[in-house]
Structure 1
Amino acid sequence: MEGKSSEEHGKKADEAKASETIKELGQTKVPEAKSNIYAMTIIGQIEGHIVLPPQNKATKYEHIIPQIVAVEESNEIEGLLLILNTVGGDVEAGLAIAELISTISKPTVSIVLGGGHSIGVPLAVSTDYSYIAPTATMTIHPIRMNGLIIGVPQTYDYFNKMQERIINFIVDHSNIKRPTLKKLMFTTSELANDVGTVLVGSEAVKHGLIHEIGGLKDALSKLRSLIDEKKTQ
C-alpha cells in the first residue's frame, strides 16, 4: 500500500508538471539540453519603472538584470545568446540592460527576429556580434516620453542629452556612422505621421547597424567560435 501511495504521488506530480508546462509553453514536454550557452529573450515591450497593463506582452528589466549578472558569475556558462523581438519600451531600462550586456566579459551574440525597434536597437548592438533575420525590421526614431511634459527649455535639454546617450551607444557598439544614424533617425518622409526610418534585414546590415543576415544556426556557430577564441587567448 505504501509503495502504491508513493507511485500515485509521483504520478500526480508528473501530471501537475505537465499541466504547468502546457499552461506556460503550450507543450507537454520541452527538450532539455545541457549547454555552455545561455539564451536570453527580450520580447514584447520592455517594462521599466512603470508597470504595464496586464494585456501587454512585456519583458521586465528587473528580471533580465539578475540573469545577466548570473551569466557573468557562472562557471558553467561561457557565452550569451540574446534573442530580440521587441517593440521597444522604457528608454532608461533598455539602455541599462544594453550597458550591462556590453560589459560582460564572456562572448555575446544577438539575433533580431521579427523586430528590434526603438530602444531595441541599442540592445541589438550591445553584443560582440549581431545578426538579423532577413524579414526582421528595426525602427530608428527619436526618443518619446510619456506622461506630463513641461514646455520649458530644460525639457528640451533633457531630451537632447538622453538622445545623445542613445546615439553614442549605438555608434560605439556598431559600424554605423553618426551622420548616417542621425539622418535615419530624423527622416520625415519614411513614416506616416512620425519621424524615423524602418530598416529591413539587409538594410540594417548595409548601414553597418548589424553585422550579418542570419538565423539561429549562424548565431550559435558564431558564438561557439568566439568562445573557442577566448579559450585560446
Structure 2
Amino acid sequence: MQEIFNPLINENKNIEKEDEKLSEAKEKREEIIEFGSSNGVSQDESIQILLIIGQIEGHQVLPAQTKSTKYEHVIPQLISMERNDKVKGVLIILNTVGGDVEAGLAISEMINSLSKPSVSIVIGGGHSIGVPLATSSSYSFITPSATMIVHPIRMNGFVIGVAQTFNYFQKMQERIDNFIVRTSKIDKKDLKEMMLKSDELLNDMGTILIGKQAVNCGLIDEEGGIKDALCKLKSLIKEREGNNE
C-alpha cells in the first residue's frame, strides 16, 4: 500500500513547491510595481535600496499622471530595514522635484535616525525638500550632471493674509534650515543667502547647484556615481561592524 501512495505524496510535494515558487514570483512582481524594487525577495539583503523619485506625496493625493513617492510607503520600508538584522546598510537614490514639506521632512528624519549606515546619491535632481532628503544620510553623493535647487518654501492655493501665516512660514523654513545645517557641512548664513538669491531662477528666488557646486558649498559630501556610493556604503558597514566587535 505504501508503494501505491508514495508517488501521490511526492506529486503533492512537487505541486506545493510549484505553488510556493508562483507565490514568490507574484509577490516580487507586485513589489516591483508598487515600490520600483524587489528588496523583499532579494537573495542578498545586506544592502537595501530606497528609491525617492518624482514628487513627494503627502496628505494630498497627487494626480494619476504624476510620478510620485508616497511617504506612507517609504516609512514602513525604513522601519523594516531598521528591524531586519540581515540589513547592514541602505542606499538612497534620489531624483525628486520636491513636494510635500511635512512628508519630505518626516522621511528625512527617519533616514537620519537609522542605526545602520546610509548613503544617498542624487542622480538627476534633488530639489526643494529633496535637499534635506539628500543630506539626511550618513554620507551623500551627487553625479556630475545632477542638479539641486535650494529655495524657500512656498504654498499654493488659498492663504490667509495675516501675520500668523508669515510666522508659520518662518517656523517651517527654520525647521528645514536647521535640519540641513545639522546634517551637512554648509553654514546657515550661506544657506540663507542661496535661498534668497533673486537673479538665478525665473520668476522665483533660490540657487541652482550643479554637481561639484553642491560639494563645494558643503551641502553634499562628494561627487561620484553609483559605484562610488556602493563602495562608500560597504566601507561604512565594515567600519560599523569593526566598532561593534
Give me the identity figure in percent. 58
Counterpart Cα distance in 2 of 1:24 and 1:94 = 22
Cα deviation, residue 47, structure 1: 0.2
CA RMSD, aligned part only? Answer: 2.7
Q: Deviation at 1:33?
A: 4.3
Q: In structure 1, how many angstroms separate the alpha carbons of the residues matched to 2:197 and 2:90?
A: 34
Structure 2 residue corresponding to 1:72, chosen from 73, 79, 82: 82
Aligned residue for 2:102?
92
> Per-residue CA shift, 1:160-191, capped at 9, x if unaligned?
00001100000110001111111111100000
Q: Measure how far apart 1:195 and its partner are.
A: 0.5
In structure 2, the residue matched to 1:131 is 141
**Aligned mate of 1:191, from 174, 196, 201:** 201
TM superposition score normalised by structure 1:
0.88
Cα distance in 2 between the residues matched to 1:73 and 1:39: 15
Alpha-carbon distance, 1:232 to partner: 1.1
Taking the aligned partners of 1:136 and 1:84, their CA distance within structure 2 comes to 10
Matches within 5 A, 1:62-211: 62-211=72-221
Write the letter of the residue equivalent to 1:229.
Answer: E
**Count of matched residue pairs:** 225
Task: Give ranges in structure 2 of 5+ residues lacking alignment.
Answer: 1-7, 35-40
Mapped partners of 1:34, 1:69: distance in 2: 18
What is the distance in 2 between the residues matched to 1:193 and 1:85? 23
How much has 1:35 moved relative to structure 2?
Answer: 3.5
| Inter-partner Cα distance in structure 1 for 2:79 and 2:42 | 23
* Residue matched to 1:220: 230
For the pair 1:50 / 2:64, whether they are aligned, the reply is no
SS at match of 2:97: strand
- Please give the per-residue CA displacement for 1:27-48, whole angstroms capped at 9, x wherever unaligned: xxxx954130111000000000
CA distance in 2, matches of 1:195, 1:141: 6
Which aligned segments of 4 or more residues in structure 1 are displaced greater than 2 angstroms? none
1:147 deviation in Å? 2.5
Under a length normalisation based on structure 2, what TM-score does the superposition of the two structures give? 0.84
Q: CA deviation at 1:24?
A: 4.2
Query: What does 1:20-35 align with in structure 2 at a 5 Å threshold?
Result: 24=33, 33-35=43-45
